Structure 1
Amino acid sequence: MAMTKLKRRLRIKRRIRTKIRGTQERPRMSVFRSNKQIYVQFVNDDLGQTLASASSKDKFVVDKGAMTKVEQAQHVGHLAAEVAKSKGIVTVVFDRNGYLYHGRVKALAEAAREGGLNF
């Protein structure tokens, strides 16, 4: 039976999630990438709680006008860093969620690092 892209990503995701865990001091920065949008959540896995989030649907990103998806991811990375710092989050564990560290995911991560997040 052929493995679909989704099944492959979920297998990789499961393998990643056995190794990383978000805490109050160092939450998990989880990235979700759809065909048109990109989302980030800061999660405390001890409490099962989302501490902060940012996405390409936020007003800050939408107001930038037409842009490529990689540029959109960069803006979301900067926004995620700002939101996290306002909530007192400085150090995170990066969860690429089964996606390759390439393209939009890489652009978002590097922008978040530029914005002041440590991971």
Structure 2
Amino acid sequence: MDSKILRRQKIRYRIRKKVAGVAVKPRLSVFRSNTDIYVQLIDDISGQTIAAASSNDKDIKAQAGNKVEKSKMVGAAIATKAIALGVTTAVFDRSGYLYHGRVKAVAEGAREGGLLF
């Protein structure tokens, strides 16, 4: 495997040892591909995804903007879905990515949408 992938995987495992989500305070997990970004609210006790949003959603994909701007929209979308389900706080899981660029934009969008973490 590529050393970059292994490095991220080691960081991801280290983060997951400390970060766990429950139904009241789920884990906000971020996955970043080259073109899109995906976010999930996960209850680790039951192993279920509570809500999900991505830059592939129709309303976000139709918007104009670069990847960072769309990531901020994804953060706002997941915050809206979470608040509709009665979730106000979450634990942020950056999945081994640096807290910079698109990952940071998702976190800021979620905070501006009313999600606390």
TM-score by length of 1: 0.95
Give 2:7's aligned residue: 8
TM-score by length of 2: 0.96
Give 2:110's aligned residue: 112
CA distance in 2, matches of 1:60, 1:80: 13
Write the mapping of 1:1-119 to structure 2, written as runs, cut at 5 A: 4-65=3-64, 67-119=65-117
Q: Aligned letter for 1:40? A: V
Deviation at 1:32? Answer: 0.3
Q: Aligned letter for 2:50? A: L
Point out 4+ residue stretches in structure 1 off by more than 2 angstroms. none
CA distance in 1, matches of 2:3, 2:98: 15
CA distance in 2, matches of 1:112, 1:30: 12
**Deviation digits for residues 55-113 of structure 1, max 9, x if unmatched?**
00001201213x21101101111111111111111100000000000000001101100
The Cα RMSD (Å) is: 1.2
CA distance in 2, matches of 1:61, 1:29: 19
Identity of aligned residues (%): 54
- Structure 2 runs not aligned, ≥5 long: none
Deviation at 1:5? Answer: 1.2
Count of paired positions = 117
